[in-house]
Amino acid sequence: MIVEFSDELLAKFAEVVARYPQGRQKSALLPVLHLVQAEYGWLSVDAMDKVAAYLDIRPIEVYEVATFYTMFFLQPQGKYMLEVCRTGPCCLVGAERIMKHIEQRLGVKEGEVTADGLFSWRGVECVAACGFGPVLQIGPEYTFYENLTEESVDNLINELKQKSQQG
Amino acid sequence: MARKLLLTHIDVPGIQSFEVYRQKGGYRAVEKALKTMSPDDVVEEVKKSGLRGRGGAGFPTGMKWSFLAKPEGVPRYLVCNGDESEPGTFKDRFLMTHIPHALVEGMIVSSYALGANTSYIYIRGEMMPQIRIVEKAIAEAKAAGFLGKNILGSGYDLEIHVQPGGGAYICGEETALLESLEGKRGNPRIKPPFPAVSGLYGCPTVVNNVESIAATVPIVNDGGEEYAKIGIERSTGTKLISASGNLVRPGVYEIEMGLPMEEFIYSDEYCGGIANGKRLKAVVAGGSSVPILPTNLALKTAKGESRLMTYESLADGGFVTGTAMGSGGFVAFDEDQCIVRNTLNFTRFYHHESCGQCSPCREGTGWMEKVLHKIEYGQASLSDVDLLWDIQQKIDGHTICPLGDASAWPVASAIRHFRDEFEWHILHPEEAQTRNFGLAHYADPLVTT
Amino acid sequence: MAEEEVKFKVTIDGIPVDVAPGTTILNAARQIGGDIVPPAMCYYSKLEGSGGKCRTCLVKVSKGSEKDPRPMPKLVASCRTTVMDGMEVQNITSPDVLEARKGVVEMLLINHPLDCPICDQAGECKLQDLSYEHGVADTRYEFERRTFERIDIGDKIQLHMNRCILCYRCVYVANQLTEGREHGVIHRGDHSEISTFIENALDSDFIGNVIDVCPVGALTDKTFRFKNRVWFTKPVDAHRDCPTCSGKVTLWYKGEEVLRVTGRKDEYNEVEDFICNTCRFDTKQTSDWVLEEPTPVEKESVITANHYAEFNPPPVIKENPALQVANAEQLARTEKLK
């Protein structure tokens, strides 16, 4: 995917870069990648190369970082990426059951995209909400859904479907 | 009722906002520190308070501050560690969500004490809602004159910025966090040098946990001595405990150090006992990396004394019969929970989160997961338990950062205290493969309450 | 008159040595030399910031310093720990160290392919040496090994990621010797790999040095690929007037033919000077070079060909009077074990 950053996005980049001392603009890499991903849904090589050019660093420095952190997608995902916590404490209260249910309900395996392009799901490691498990989050704003049951997951999926039809 | 210092006003409607927080006495600590105290006075109060780092290692905060190098003409940084990722721990998310100004106020006081003019709050990227909340709180504080140039006419300048992480447990390790803040992979640095000498951008830096920073507010307000009156021995003040697992009322509780663990679990003031009328089987008292304890050792030390929620009491018995306070991530396991399955889960976590820099952790965590997988799914032989023990020993203490140790301890303690469950899985492969999730009635080994 | 130089006194496996402040334990040990030098798979003295990662050089500090004699609580990476005055270090006299090192070697090997018979690095591979000295004969790892595709990075260098132990040396080479780094470490944990991420040729005058610094056969010289086993070739030091680098190299002969050109390596397998790609890849006629003398090769090296009799010494001390006195106790115990 070839991208061209809008003026609005570039203004946001500049705001981020201003947080660091002169010459330390590489510090802006993670926040800038988040901004780019929020805009396009994922990080294409072209987008990463343009981030590198903007921050005056080598492209490989961007690839190294983008592949290290789990929040960055290097390929397109469903419009809604359901991320279910799969770590110990959530599993004590049924996270594995919820993931199974989501898999059946959406009809796609972990990491795949539904045919309508709306949904993907994956298990993620502890999201620091163990007391309210099972939990899931949806980017780019990482809206949080707690104390999940099969029923609440169904409702959520229906809501999101409706929302995308309206939007 | 136990005293609260951090969550005093948690139930006040609108406490998220600057106005309400201020009405309830917020930002008094900033006024007191900047108008009546020197930076060294603040450091002194924090030393007197006996506050120990709330992120996991429990290192005395005042001492950490006093190690900060102060070369002429070199900026110093305070970086707040809000990368809360230790399984079982969710207190920082709670604090930032509900009382963000406690963190901002603490940041101002602490930055003043350390002589930092630019400070960063590194918050894990998945906590985007909390990032927004804290950013808003910073803007409000700035609008009210508590941040920016010449704060309260004291001549002290400070800017605070929020930095999002990208999804990596390892960035909770302070030098990995600094690397990440510099826009790099979260590879922990090789120490020495320590951040106090060469941290962010090679400058002297202090990295403190969210809760530690927030705790400096009551310390400045009431004085370090007053803070130290709460608690027992070298465990002073209050501690936020994240309670999860099979409890009637999981959640975040502020306890006075020294609360008996039994009271914490069963009292109605706290967790209200084990959910669904079940019995307690095991406890992880300080986040996934600390040793898991069976009920008998969780509630009482090997000497038969009541186990208290203090650094010392939790560690009583070392790693043989004790555990550690860690980050205060308290996970309760009921009688139906399978220790092998949980150990596999935790080990998968560490395997997934290893940065891959040093060989024992990069290779060893994956190896342990594979062996545990075999055991859990009934394809192992008894010698695999010994192999697992040996692998964890080859990791423990041999890695660049504590993630290696953190991956080894849960495995070691699970084998130490629940070896019979491991053996059951190996000797009864069919049952182990066909049983439902979480069913482990067969073992119920050490529940003696 | 210059002021008297301050020296720190360090004792390693009972052998004292005076070194300048700031020296690492590993380099202090190298000043003593011999068997007490910890092995190093990732540290490279000529690459700033290298080291600390592979953990093969772990040692025990049994006395911190004269001022603070407490021992260090954990084994430390000798390549990144600087000495203190009065420090006492145990390397091969500590069973803990040997056991830990055995573990590290095992970890390095569990995903390493056993393709030495077709690997160009065989014979000068540090991982081979290390496994002979510290490894166990059997593997306890019964799972499928991690594999990657073999890729060409540029027309002269091949990356065989399966063999890589992630020492990061090649990354430091690209950072410190070239104008712009094109490759790095992507992904994380045991999925980490050396890569350019998108297909990209490494193209810089000095990038060929990644071959020399690679401790294993992950980065190899395509112009030498499968030409010959290193122990059938004869190393000869030579130089030429090179406009780009020092021009001081080792030529590897088979008969009259130069099969490959490398930097001149010392006993720790480190090059004296980094050489340029022209010298390495494109200058393979004897007439291009001024020959000096056959490269001195260690007696135990496989490169002296077929001297296998004493190739596999146990990690204890051989003939060296100072060492034997210092480690009498350890030696007696080893004797008993026989």
In this structure, what CATH number is given to the domain that contains residue A18? Answer: 1.10.10
Distance from the Cα of C181 to chain B's closest Cα (Å) equals 15
Q: Say if the Cβ atoms of B352 and A88 lie within 8 Å.
A: no
Stronger pLDDT, B445 or B117, i.e. the higher one: B117
A112 belongs to a structural domain: yes
Residues A16 and A90 in one domain: no
B6 belongs to a structural domain: no
Residues A51 and A86 in one domain: no
Query: What is the rounded CA–CA span in Å between residue C205 and residue A99?
Result: 52
Coil vs helix vs strand at B32: helix
pLDDT greater than 90 at residue C152: no
Q: Say if the Cβ atoms of B356 and C166 lie within 8 Å.
A: yes
* Residues B180-231 pLDDT 10s: 999 999 999 999 999 999 999 999 999 999 999 999 999 999 999 999 999 9
Residues of B in contact with A125 (CB under 8 A): 85, 87, 169, 349, 352-353
| Element spanning B420, H or E | helix B403-427
Distances (CA, A) of B351 to B217, B355, B369, B378, B408: 38, 9, 7, 21, 11
Residues B285 and B384 in one domain: no
- What is the predicted pLDDT for the residue at B445? 41
Helix segments in chain C, DSSP class H? 25-32, 95-110, 126-134, 169-177, 209-213, 277-281, 321-326, 328-337
Query: What is the rounded CA–CA span in Å between residue C202 and residue C223?
Result: 15
Query: What is the rounded CA–CA span in Å between residue C31 and residue C7?
Result: 13
The half-sphere exposure of C198 on its side-chain side, counting CA atoms within 13 A, is 12
| Element spanning B317, H or E | none
Query: What is the rounded CA–CA span in Å between residue C191 and residue A70?
Result: 13
Report the CATH number that the domain containing residue A115 is assigned in CATH.
Answer: 3.40.30.10
Cβ neighbourhood burial of B278 (10 Å; 0-12, 13-18, 19+): middle
Q: Which of B85, B243, B337 sits opposite A92 (nearest CB)?
A: B337
pLDDT band at B438 (very low <50, low <70, confident <90, very high): very low
Q: Is C144 within 8 Å of chain B by CB?
A: no
State the total domains in chain A: 2
pLDDT greater than 70 at residue B52: yes
For every residue of A81-145, DSSP letters joined together read EEEEE-SHHHHHTTHHHHHHHHHHHHT--TT-B-TTS-EEEEEES--S-GGG-S-EEETTTTEEE
Residues B249 and B276 in one domain: yes
Query: What is the rounded CA–CA span in Å between residue B107 and residue B62?
Result: 15
CB B384 within 8 A of CB B371: yes
Q: Say if the Cβ atoms of C184 and A60 lie within 8 Å.
A: yes
Q: Say if the Cβ atoms of B362 and C190 lie within 8 Å.
A: yes
User: Which phi-psi region, left, alpha or beta, contains residue B371 (left: φ > 0; alpha: ψ -120 to 50)?
Assistant: alpha
Q: Is C185 within 8 Å of chain B by CB?
A: yes
Structure tokens at B255: 């306890």
Cβ neighbourhood burial of C310 (10 Å; 0-12, 13-18, 19+): exposed
Q: Is A108 within 8 Å of chain B by CB?
A: no
Residues B321 and B344 in one domain: no
Structure pTM? 0.92
pLDDT greater than 80 at residue C330: no
State the total domains in chain B: 3
pLDDT over 90, % of chain B:
90
Residue of B nearest to A147 (CA): B250
How does strand B77-82 pair with strand C88-90? unpaired
Q: Say if the Cβ atoms of A63 and C197 lie within 8 Å.
A: yes
Residues whose CB falls within 8 Å of the CB of residue A72, separated by 6 or more in sequence, listed in order: A33, A37, A43, A66, B166, B167
Whether a cis peptide bond, with omega within 30° of 0, leads into A140 is yes
Q: Is A33 within 8 Å of chain B by CB?
A: yes
Mutation target among B97, B128, B353, B372 for the A interface, most CBs of A within 10 A: B128
Residues B347 and B268 in one domain: no
Residues A102 and A153 in one domain: yes
Q: Say if the Cβ atoms of B331 and A88 lie within 8 Å.
A: yes
B378 belongs to a structural domain: yes
Known binding positions of A? 85, 90, 126, 130
pLDDT greater than 50 at residue C338: no
Q: Please give the interface size between A and B, counted as residue pairs whose CB atoms are below 8 Å apart.
A: 158
Residue of B nearest to C73 (CA): B397
pLDDT band at B447 (very low <50, low <70, confident <90, very high): very low
Residues whose CB falls within 8 Å of the CB of residue C202, separated by 6 or more in sequence, listed in order: C153, C154, C157, C174, C182, C183, C196, C210
Cα A52–chain centre separation:
21
Q: Say if the Cβ atoms of A64 and C188 lie within 8 Å.
A: no
Mutation target among B92, B97, B126, B338 for the A interface, most CBs of A within 10 A: B126
Cα C28–chain centre separation:
17
Distances (CA, A) of B18 to B95, B138, B214, B217, B219: 15, 9, 16, 15, 21
Residues of C in contact with B394 (CB under 8 A): 100, 103-104, 106-107
Backbone φ, ψ for residue C250 (5° rounding): -115, 130
Cα dihedral C259/C265/C271/C274 (nearest 10): -30
Look-up of token digits 């981020």 = A16
Put simply, the chain A residues between 40 and 59 with a CB less than 8 A from any chain C CB are 45, 58-59
Q: Which of B185, B190, B362 sits opposite C77 (nearest CB)?
A: B190
Helix segments in B247-291, DSSP class H? 261-266
The domain of A152 spans 80-166
* Residues C91-139 pLDDT 10s: 999 999 999 999 999 999 999 998 888 888 988 898 998 988 887 778 8
Cα dihedral C305/C309/C314/C320 (nearest 10): -90
- What is the predicted pLDDT for the residue at B443? 40
pLDDT greater than 90 at residue C200: no
Residues A102 and A30 in one domain: no
Residues B180 and B290 in one domain: no
Could you give the angle at the alpha carbon of B72 between the alpha carbons of B68 and B76, nearest 5°?
40
How long a stretch of residues is chain A? 167
With contact defined as 3+ CB pairs under 8 Å, the chains touching A are: B, C
Report the CATH number that the domain containing residue B306 is assigned in CATH.
Answer: 3.10.20.600
Q: Which of B161, B167, B341 sits opposite A71 (nearest CB)?
A: B167
Mutation target among A85, A93, A125 for the B interface, most CBs of B within 10 A: A125
Of the candidates A68, A93, A111, which is a domain's last residue? A68
Distance from the Cα of B369 to chain C's closest Cα (Å) equals 11
Residues B291 and B430 in one domain: no
pLDDT band at B448 (very low <50, low <70, confident <90, very high): very low
Query: What is the rounded CA–CA span in Å between residue B89 and residue A112?
Result: 30
With contact defined as 3+ CB pairs under 8 Å, the chains touching B are: A, C
How does strand B205-209 pair with strand B77-82? parallel
* Residues B309-329 pLDDT 10s: 999 999 999 999 999 999 999
Q: Is A93 within 8 Å of chain C by CB?
A: no
Of the candidates B289, B310, B334, which is a domain's last residue? B334
Q: Say if the Cβ atoms of A63 and C182 lie within 8 Å.
A: no
Show the domains of chain C with their CATH numbers. 8-102 (3.10.20.740), 227-307 (no CATH)
pLDDT band at C21 (very low <50, low <70, confident <90, very high): very high
Residue of B nearest to A97 (CA): B437
Residues A86 and A160 in one domain: yes
Q: Is A65 within 8 Å of chain B by CB?
A: yes
CB C218 within 8 A of CB C150: no
For every residue of B208-247, DSSP letters joined together read EEHHHHHHHHHHHHH-HHHHHHSEETTEESEEEEEEEESB
- What is the predicted pLDDT for the residue at C319? 55
Residues of B in contact with C143 (CB under 8 A): 367, 370
Coil vs helix vs strand at C29: helix
Look-up of token digits 């270090």 = C89
Residues B369 and B423 in one domain: yes
pLDDT greater than 60 at residue B307: yes
A74 belongs to a structural domain: no
Number of Cβ within 10 Å of residue B142's Cβ equals 16
A73 belongs to a structural domain: no
Known binding positions of A for [2Fe-2S] cluster? 85, 90, 126, 130
A20 belongs to a structural domain: yes
Of the candidates B229, B262, B281, which is a domain's last residue? B229
Query: What is the rounded CA–CA span in Å between residue C264 and residue C93?
Result: 32
Query: What is the rounded CA–CA span in Å between residue A7 and residue B191?
Result: 42
- What is the predicted pLDDT for the residue at C302? 64
A2 belongs to a structural domain: no
Strand order in the sheet with B280-284: B251-256, B238-245, B329-334, B280-284, B293-294
Residues whose CB falls within 8 Å of the CB of residue C206, separated by 6 or more in sequence, listed in order: C173, C177, C178, C245, C274, C276, C277
- What is the predicted pLDDT for the residue at C303? 62
Assess: ipTM above 0.90: yes
Residues whose CB falls within 8 Å of the CB of residue B60, separated by 6 or more in sequence, listed in order: B47, B50, B51, B52, B53
- What is the predicted pLDDT for the residue at C309? 34
Of the candidates B229, B255, B279, which is a domain's last residue? B229
B69 belongs to a structural domain: yes
Residues B167 and B79 in one domain: yes
Q: Which of B353, B398, B400 sits opposite C52 (nearest CB)?
A: B400
The domain of B126 spans 18-229
B445 belongs to a structural domain: no
Residues of C in contact with A61 (CB under 8 A): 181, 184
* Residues B11-50 pLDDT 10s: 999 999 999 999 999 999 999 999 999 999 999 999 999 9
Residues A37 and A98 in one domain: no
Q: Where are the beta strands (DSSP E) in B274-431?
A: 280-284, 293-294, 329-334
Q: Say if the Cβ atoms of B168 and C185 lie within 8 Å.
A: no
Residues B199 and B68 in one domain: yes
Coil vs helix vs strand at B118: strand
Q: Is A42 within 8 Å of chain B by CB?
A: no
